[in-house]
């Protein structure tokens, strides 16, 4: 909680005890936060015929992918979204995802996925 970005250092939360302030954001909270942006900003652009690029932190991307694919909690937590690898979604007129794919050849995608998976491993 020494990090200057922690909510306890924000004057808007000065009257709240530190114990009620969030220390992290769960995937469920992230979904709740990003879906309004999805509906209010991204969907109208796509429905208007525009190609939209979403660049975000991994958990925000995971929340969108979870929503679009209908993955359950275990599936999305195991889903590997490598950094800087475009993931394309194609939609029908109802904004239902019809298919999705990475814009990389299989060999490069596999290497990047392995790099992300290895980040979580404990180095000895």
At 124, the pLDDT band (50, 70, 90 cuts) reads low
pLDDT recorded at residue 107: 92
CB–CB of 112/104 below 8 Å? Answer: yes
- Compare 25 and 119 and report the one with higher pLDDT: 25
Which positions ≥6 away from 71 have C-beta within 8 Å?
65, 79
Instruction: Pick 2 or 57 by higher pLDDT.
Output: 57
pLDDT digits 0-9 by tens, 82-97: 888 899 999 999 999 9
The domain 26-119 having CATH identifier 3.40.50.1240: the answer here is: yes
Domain-by-domain residue ranges, the chain? 26-119
pTM: 0.75
Long-range contacts of 106-111 (CB under 8 A, 24+ apart): 109/82, 109/85
Residue 62 has pLDDT above 60, yes or no: yes
Checking if the pLDDT of 13 tops 60, the result is yes
Instruction: Report whether pLDDT(61) > 90.
Output: yes
What's the chain look like in SS3?
Answer: CCCCCCHHHCHHHCCCCHHHCCCCCCHHHHHHHHHHHHHHHHHHHHHCCCCCCCCCCHHHHHHHHHHHHCCCHHHHHHCCCCCCCCEEEEECCCCCEEEEEECCCHHHHHHHHHHHHHHCCCCC
Residues near 69 by beta carbon (within 8 Å), at least 6 away in sequence: 76, 97, 100
The number of residues in the chain equals 124
């Amino acid at each position: 909680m020494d990090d200057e970005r922690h909510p306890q250092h924000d004057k808007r939360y000065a009257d709240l005890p530190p114990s009620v302030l969030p220390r992290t954001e769960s995937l469920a909270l992230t979904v709740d936060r990003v879906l309004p942006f999805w509906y209010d900003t991204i969907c109208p652009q796509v429905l208007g015929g525009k190609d939209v690029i979403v660049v975000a932190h991994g958990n925000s991307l995971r929340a969108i992918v979870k929503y679009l694919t209908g993955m359950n909690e275990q599936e999305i937590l195991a889903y590997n979204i490598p950094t800087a690898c475009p993931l394309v979604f194609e939609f029908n007129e109802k904004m239902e995802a019809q298919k999705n794919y990475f814009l990389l050849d299989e060999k490069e995608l596999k290497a990047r996925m392995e790099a992300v998976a290895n980040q979580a491993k404990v180095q000895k």
